[in-house]
Chains A and B, each alone.
Chain A
């Protein structure tokens, strides 16, 4: 029940699999198997893919891509998950920050920032959420004050992941209090090695360490303002919709299901087997839906409510797979522990489930917001 891929995409997948079959990939995965998540960056693998323009294939050649399509990018996501290669740096750097830069950055910014990301040499994160601003991003409190030649940022960002390794972060901050709350927000590219940026670890259930990032008057030059001043919220709203196909969440559900399936097959339990087959069918449905959106993305025709459906469906599916893993392996099994720690974050990240349901409901004419 796999999506039908063109011969060219099948070749691309095979080329990628051949790369990932190289011995240095297995060696690095073995080496980082017991490394704590924050140190867990498979740089050899990322740089190998980067050297073959396969980390960000949809990007233009001049920025280290292949001028390929969203479908190629979706294949990379599926294969990283399928091979058990940590994909948090990929999702943050390429799918989130990189795609946003490609969408809104100036030509000079793209030329400066994108090539090292596509080469697997650097990573980038996004810092949007705050203690008091999650789903309601327009209520954020981080402020940017105009200074000579740029801006100074004050505030604190929460629930940031992948911060330690990243060179830069995309930061959303308030630049104006006039008009609607949404209208006074600007995006900045902030160098994280600046002494006015302090990251501190927040202990959490989530396997990837959370950081609180304090911005204590960090100076951002005008050349690092991303997109229009005061137009950041609208850029994000549009940018999130174009990247939300659900492929990453579905790839995770499928890779988890593969692991759980092996455990179920080793047991002679008809009930567990039935639940497994049921979730496999749902995962197949989630995959066809996500791939349909990838096709739309290629045509520049991704609609927000279907994107919300794919994100909601596939992230909720991950939660169900984790619950099956618990029933199969119990609470001390390494597999179920890893899934149960990660799953709750999936229905919150990149638009929580209720926000997705709100978008879908609104398209149906429900919820009183339409």
Chain B
């Protein structure tokens, strides 16, 4: 059989269909290679963050406390975000005792409904409110006065909080946030009183009382990195992206941080 026979089999006299299939494959590959278009609807943004907290307690004689913690955010709509956090806070009671607080809670953050184009370093204010569970432990640190009933006490409490804050976006993925909120705790009250022993030593006398409401101001600095988009803009059949509404109708590259 001459080689020309095999070539004639190999080269289709009507190759248009194959070329079209090949062309579609190329288009598919190039579509995957394209950078993702800006998501104009910011709902679904998932951010991870770390936070440092300053707590100004107003009960049990404790001074300003400092804390460290972490959080994540899930943004629901352009005007609404949620923040889920955990904090570890410590404060001193004079030089004779320590208050330790563990917070685990969540807040809903409300932004202005008016959408604005994304701008670096422009603060974005918000109002936040939420709920939190708190484990508090107050303990005296004088080794000579360790009474299991009156040198240490702990409690669980439930709290509601509300406050104000703002984000400063440094780029489209990272923002620094500052918020101040007041927490109202409902739980058994712990009182800590400084007492002086006959030899002049000071120690902490701690007692647990009936349930009451007490509160403190919590100031948080957090650094957040947007790392995922849990649900993208609505898509048409075939993967084409539906144009997201632009409220101003002016800015085609509208991205709300």
Chain A bound to chain B = no
B interface list, Cβ under 8 A from A? none
A interface list, Cβ under 8 A from B? none
